[in-house]
Structures are given as C-alpha cells and as structure tokens.
Structure 1
Amino acid sequence: MSGPLASLNVLDFSTLLPGPFASLLLADMGAEVLRIESPTRMDLLRVLPPHDQGTSASHAYLNRNKRSLALDLKQPEALEIVRALVKDYDIVLEQFRPGVMERLGLGYDALKAINPRLIYVSITGYGQTGPYKDRAGHDINYLALAGVASYTGRQDSGPLPLGVQVADVAGGSLHAVVGLLAAVIARQHSGVGQYLDVSMTDCSFSLNAMSGAGYLACGVEPAWENQVLNGGSFYDYYRTRDGRWMSVGSLEPAFMQRLCAAFGRPELAAKGLSLELKTALQIEFEKRSFDELCELFAGVDACVEPVLSLSEAVEHPQLKARELVSQVPRGDGSTQAQLACPLKFSQGLPEPRHIGVAVGAHSDEVLAELGLSVQRIAELRQAEVVG
C-alpha cells in the first residue's frame, strides 16, 4: 500500500513543530520526505523531554517515516548536493526567517531555475512581508497578535496558555499542507510550480472564524466570557464534587432539555442560554462525583462529556475504535506507541515504517542515489560537508 501522496517527493528543511508536523502528514499519506539537517546545529526538538530509550518522544513522532540527510549548508559542496536533489523533488518546505534561504543560494528563484515544477513552501511567524517579518516569535505571540487570546480565557485571570500549539499546528502546519496540495493540483494543469508564503499569525487570524466575522461586519468586539461559546453562557466546563471536570455543549433545545431532565430539573431548560442556567448547573454538577456524572450521562445524548486525561483518552472506547494509537517500528525489532494519522482513506494508508531517526541516518544512502561514489562520500564526510 503506497498511499495517496506516493508520487510526491519532499525536501524538508524545517525544525521544531510547524514544518515537521506538516511533513509528517505528507509522509503518513505516502510522500517521500527527506529532511535536510545541520550536522552541527541540532534541531532542539531532538532533546525535548520526555525521552524513550534516549530519544525524544516528540521527535520520534513528528519525524516518523522520514529520511535524514545531514548537510552543512554553509559549505559550497552541500549546496551543490541540494541543487542536485531539487531536480527530482516536487516540494521544498522551509522554516527559516525571511531571506535566509536566499542568502544560502537556495531561495525559490534559484531553485525554480533548476526545476520549474518545484513547489516551494515557507512557514514563518509573520510572513515574508510587513514590519514584523524579521521578528522572533512563538505560538503564544502569534495567537496574541491575531486577537485569539483576547477572548480565550477568563475575566478574572485573563488569557489562557493553551496546551495545544494552535498557531503552530492549525496555523502553520495544516494551512501549509492545504496550500501545497492546492499548488500540486494547479501544477497538474499548468505544468509549473509556485511559491507559498505561510504566516502562522495570518493563519491564526483566519481562525477567528465566527468572532472575526461578527466584529468586521457588525462591530461586535469579542472579550473573555462575553459570547455564547467562550464562557459567556452555560456552554462551559463544570467542576465535579471530587475536583474533576465535565464539558457541556447542550446548545440546541433538545439537548438542553435532556441535560436538565437528567438532573431531575426539567424546568431549568426554560432559562435558555442565560448565565442563570449556568449557575444552576454549577450547583448540580458539584453535588455529584465525576464517576457518578459519567454514569449519569453515559446513556443520555445531550452533548455532555467528561474531561479526560491523556491516559484516559487513550483507553476511551471511541478513540480505540478509531485506532488513533499506532505501534511504530524503532529499527531494532521493537515498536513505540505513537499518535496515528487521523485521516481515514477507503483504500487505507501505508503502515508506519520507522520512528524519527538520528541526524544523517540516511546520508550515505541518499548520496549514493545521486550517483556519488563511496570514495566521494567519504571525502565529503572527511571535509565535514556531510554528517
């Protein structure tokens, strides 16, 4: 089984989370992904705890199914190797600050002269233009500037530092994949590639789907706990008697009626979306333990679900039925449990080949495929061009 993207070859210069998550999706769907890594400047994700048998679990996951070629891009011989690779690759994915690849001689204009069909994707915090294009940032900064943090939080404590990197993944990674696949479709008709400028701040700004629409069209400014879906109504999380939490999303009248009836308080449904209903529900939830509430709502279709830990989520029958955990080969005959690709294709996806590998694990193999002799590869290693 080769996967729907088996025809695509990707040169991945990215590090950390946004680019690697994007190329992970591509690799899971069958694309051939070759990471170009520095032999001297380590991807910090490689040392991020926790570690499994000496390897960062995050790195092992985000870089599964990818090969690694270690090149010192400051050396001319390394740049020649990249230019040779580009002849046979469809996509370049990079995550440097604007201008870095151009200074190396590996910018879009230079590489498309070698391969006009090349699709070149740049993921940055703020994009290739604008006064912030050279400014450093992280997920929390992009969400702050995009307005998302201004209404994601509590009135008494302010914005929340989210546990999931929304700007990196939903902003950078997923938009990059959507954009590059759109460019692949366009290339099927035009025969030429193109450049894709992905800003994590831009994409985070677009995630203001409903609140942004309301502000731009009607001037309604969202703020903490002033909207139906951000804590300004009964749509919220509720503490249980034993300090656990339940989620309530019973917005539609039928669900709201079932929610209130489950507590033996059908009259509460008449309060609608009011905060008065929220106060009444807080009392009802705090009367009962987490286990009691789980049992109470197990057979009630009211959009009420428990807030699970990751260890609980892994064992939940719905997630288990969807096979969201995969056993991925380490290379020594054993396997590592990882998050599986969540996409379900009727023709299936290829089995995971291996976890993320050591820097330069495939250097000799890739260079041999380019036609370099064993002697020449040894010379490049001696000169520290290849790691």
Structure 2
Amino acid sequence: MQIPLIDLTAQYSNLEVKILAAIKKVLRSGQYINGTEVKQLEENIKEVTGSKYAVPVANGTDALVLALDACGIGQGDEVITSPYTFFATAEAIARVGAKPVFVDVKVDTFNISPELIEEKITKNTKAIIPVHLFGQPAEMDAIIELGKKHRLKIIEDACQALGASYKGNPVGSIGDIGCFSFFPTKNLGCYGDGGVVVTNNKEIAEKIRLLAAHGSKVKYFNEIVGYNSRLDEIQAAILNVKISHLFDWNEKRRILASIYDRELLKTNVTTPKTVEGVKHVYHLYVVTCSNVNEIKQHLEQKGISTGVYYPSPLHLQRAFLYLGYKVGYLPVSEKLATHTLALPLFPELDNNQQNYVIERLKEVCTI
C-alpha cells in the first residue's frame, strides 16, 4: 500500500466538475484580476474568520510582509516570534528591515511560550507574531495582554490554521491582523500560491489594500511605493468552490487525529497535545519521538510517506546567523527539530489507510 503524507489529487477528484466549471466561467468572463470571484472570496473569508475586512493577496508570505508594512514596522524595529515554524514568518520580519527576536516554544504544543515573551521586549519591540502551528491556536489571552501592556501590534500567523478557534474566537480575528496562506497543501488550498489578510481595523485594511496594488487606488496614480500582490480570479474561483467544504474537512481531520491519539497511546511516540478551549484543525499531525530516523525509514519502506517539520529552527538558519544565536539558546525548538515526525493526515484518508499506518508504526514503536 502506498500512502502519501498529503493527497491533493483525491480532493480534486471529488470536486473536479465544480472546479472546472468555475475556472471556465472566469476564462470566459475575460476578467482575470480583481473581479467578482475575488470579491466573493473576501466575503467568504470574512464569514469564516469573523473579521470585518479581508484583503486577498498573492501568498501567505506577502500577507505577513504587508501586515508588518501596514503597521509601519521597519528598519530598527524588533518583532518577537517563534523559531519553530516555517521560514516565511521570520523572513517577512527581515524583509521589511526589522529584526526577528525569537522566543522558545512549548514542548507539548509547539507554540510560542507566552511566559518567555516579556523578558525579550525592549524599547524597539513593535509587534509579536504568534504562530498557530500545525493548526493549533497559540495561547492568545496572555499574548493579547502583553500587547496591551506594551502597546505592541499582534499579528497572527494563521497560515496553517484557517477555521481554528481560540475560546470560541476564530483565529485571525483575535489580534490586530491575521495572515493566512492558500498554498496547495493548506487546509484550504488553491492550485498555486495565494493568501489573505484579515483585520477589524478599517485603516489597516485600506493600507494593506493600497500596498498590495502598487500603492495605487486609481490606475496609474500611485500614492506610496507598494507591491504587486494580488490574488488572481482563477485561484479565487477555486477557493470559492472549496471553502464551503472547509469545516467538514477540518472536522474529518479532528476525527482522524483522535484515532491516532487513541491508537498510539501504548507506543513510545508522544501525540500532539490539544490545549483546552481551542479547536485544533490539524493542518499536520506531528508526533514527538526519540527514534525519528528509524521510524521514518521503516514507514517509507512500507510505502508510507512522512514529513519532518521543521529540521532546523529559524535561529540556527544560515540566513539568520547575523542575529548571533548559538546552539543551545532555544533548547525546546532545537530538540523538536530532531524529534518530530508528521504522519499522513488529510480528509480523504480512509480507515484502511490509517489502520495500515498505525499497524506499521506499532512495529517499531510499541512499548
């Protein structure tokens, strides 16, 4: 049996007729940028996130860059974030000229430790970017409180967590700005790159919309130097077809995760902890184990794909050596980088496939 980590073709097969019809509609319209599909997607995202404003952009990385830029964050400023995440989180901070400041994560949730943040706040700190990693919301109450206390912007990196919620509040709508990615492997993915920025602040929304379109409100008249970061009509049309299935897909992910949780209890892998009061959407199902390489090799020999997220924490990446971090500075993130493994999980994973993964895993992990 061959089981992928993520199966994008299965999802497409289920929606092929509707997706092709949506694409053909756009092609026949002759309107490929900033048309009715993008406007409809804005409304759909506002509904899902509970936000007043949504600005579709070219990708999740741009969403973060635009959010920082719209907040006036740049040269000489500092932004606190997690070192255990995809590179784009800190890349966006550096791209606007600011300095990433890394705070270690919790070993059981993989999310930033709020209790370690305050000691890293300086007069140059302008924002905190909590990451809702693997689909689980960060501990936002404490982070929001720090933001209020020190007058910091809270920009949620929710690129892996569309549809997740924290104490009943959809992620992305909790801080000042929320950033999402529509990369194909995300819980809601398009067939290329895509992203969106959400906020309840009208001024910020208008600034992001301006920045994303070359700093222009009226064609050929540019108020500021901006970017070219627009989501095209075809990708928006695809997302509009898929978004009505998002909550059902996320619920299926939770069901599959609960099966893994139950069946892996008597193994030497530690299943991901779900914080009380949050709704996890399991973009990835990541276990912690001491013999990652052995497990990975065994599963691959049995036709099961796995993934390592992420093999190097950001503070040790070559691109950030100038920040001066050394091995041992952020021990939890460094340990997780070599002790975690993502197992196959996607809404179309059937019982036979999941049982096969579990049985093969138990062959090397049973206590």
Normalised by the size of structure 2, how large is the TM-score? Answer: 0.29
With CA pairs under 8 Å and 6+ residues apart, which has the higher RCO, 1 or 2?
2
The alignment's TM-score, normalised by the length of structure 1, stands at 0.28
- Whose Rg is larger? 1
